[in-house]
Amino acid sequence: MEITSLSLSEVREELRAGHLSPLEVLRALEERIARVDPLIHGYLARDFETAAGQAKTADVSLPLGGVPIAIKDVINVVGEPCTCASKILRGYRSPYDATVIKKLRAMGAIPYGRTNMDEFAMGSSTENSSVSPTYNPWDTSRIPGGSSGGSAAVVAADEAFAALGSDTGGSIRQPAALCGCVGLKPSYGRVSRFGLVAFASSLDQIGPLTKTVRDSALLLNCIAGVDPLDSTSLDEPAPDYAAGLGGEIKGVRLGMPREYFVGGIDPRVDATVRAAIRHYESLGAEIVDVSLPHTEHAVGVYYIIATAEASANLARFDGVRYGYRASQPANLLEHYGRTREEGFGAEVKRRIILGTYVLSSGYYDAYYLRAQKVRTLVRGDFTSAFEKVDAIICPTSPEPAFKIGERSDDPLRMYLADIFTIAANLAGICGISIPCGFAQADGKSLPIGLQLLGKPFDEARLLKIAHAYEQSTGWRRQKPAI
């Protein structure tokens, strides 16, 4: 078995047992990336020289001692590029570590690579990267999902043992589903956002993309917790998530929301997810019908709130202090206008314009304020449902991965790719996507993801429920032939 095919948990045990050294692990990863990434385009940058220096002195007795971790290019790592896959930040190098990076380093992990993404995390396909699209390792003619498509693709292709991503409306869970790996979105406030380049501040959350549920639990152990540098992180107890895995789930009540099983879902996804639900029943779980009546408004509410916050957050990128700068502007106003026009991609500009509009005088009450009120109703739907059930079970994505370029000229259809993931961000709850089967298309197997949604700060129970399914099925052992 190749070193790179190991899970994070497995490589950690090999390092602790002395069967591998951190440098051997890093070199195997470097070799795999050199061989595979030209087909995937999952990385924007790698720094194996710095990583090798850290590997030589790594303490393998630490929880992640000597384990290399890939980082989405929206999270700051000192001395490394942080471009958010945008032209406007080309040449920028971070002067500091994000809190999650400090925590990973304290646990012995080695950040080594920057993964591709939709520009400023705005997209569902990783086609909006200013550098290159990322390709799905199961079928390189298809998208890997987004915006954390690079992180999901490199984990699925054994180019990473694990990666960090960010999730604003499904950007961890949806690419995990389409690439056949595990993607965890922690509750809002569970993980510090300090050092994460903001897209929509009330929705963004950092989380892991991994090969197994146990790996996600191990990474969450390392990055969870309150942070004085992030006023939105909450001082909630963070248990040992990995220690809570295992055991029966008999009697667990799983809610099946009727609004998530409607027309428009790919029949292959519908059948596969329903089969997974029946499997949970065989494990002793009780399936309960629930309703989330405001689901139909979630996409509209999200694209008002997210774009409004994006228009404010992205105002700081003006080419004055760092990043791309328009050449020879006639005056300061032209400098600002041309720098942002030339530096931002089409999708980012679309969202900035929409967000500025909904915040403008005369429209704030009609759009943004009303959206916030409906957001409260969406959150209330989940609160009511969780009075009856322990978790909610549903598809992650309404369909398997689609072809590169298939939706480039249809933004509305692209936005609907996140229809099952957006509500969790609006409500601030936790969610996870795990592999549950495959659809066949063009002679290729395309992964399908099962989504589980949990109460705020109930990641421990969510991970336990996900782990029970994973361990009683063989989907995690399937690998793309690349």
- Positions marked catalytic: 72, 147, 171
What's the rounded Cα separation, in Å, for the pair 189 and 428? 8
What is the rounded distance in angstroms from the CA atom of residue 205 to the CA atom of residue 72?
12
Could you say which DSSP state residue 142 is in? Answer: B
Of 323, 350, 325, which is closest to residue 336 (Cα–Cα)?
325
The CA distances from residue 299 to 201, 223, 261, in Å, are 17, 29, 16
Phi, psi of 149 (to 5 degrees): -65, -35
Residues 338-341: contacts with CB under 8 Å, at least 24 apart:
339/88, 340/88
* Alpha helix ranges (H) inside 396-443: 411-415, 422-427
| Distance separating alpha carbons of residues 420 and 261, to the nearest angstrom | 10
Q: If residue 438 lies in a helix (H) or strand (E), which one and from where to where?
A: strand 430-441
Cis ω on the peptide bond leading into residue 124 (within 30° of 0)?
A: no
Rounded (to 5) percent helix, strand, coil in the chain: 40, 15, 45
If residue 44 lies in a helix (H) or strand (E), which one and from where to where? strand 43-46
- Both tokens of residue 161? 């043992």
Rounded-to-integer distance, Cα 404 and Cα 385, Å: 37
Contact 248, 284 (CB under 8 A): yes
Q: Please give the DSSP secondary-structure letter assigned to residue 368.
A: I
Query: Measured in whole angstroms, how far is the alpha carbon of residue 243 from the centre of its chain?
Result: 23
- On the 0-12 / 13-18 / 19+ scale of CB atoms within 10 A, 412 is exposed
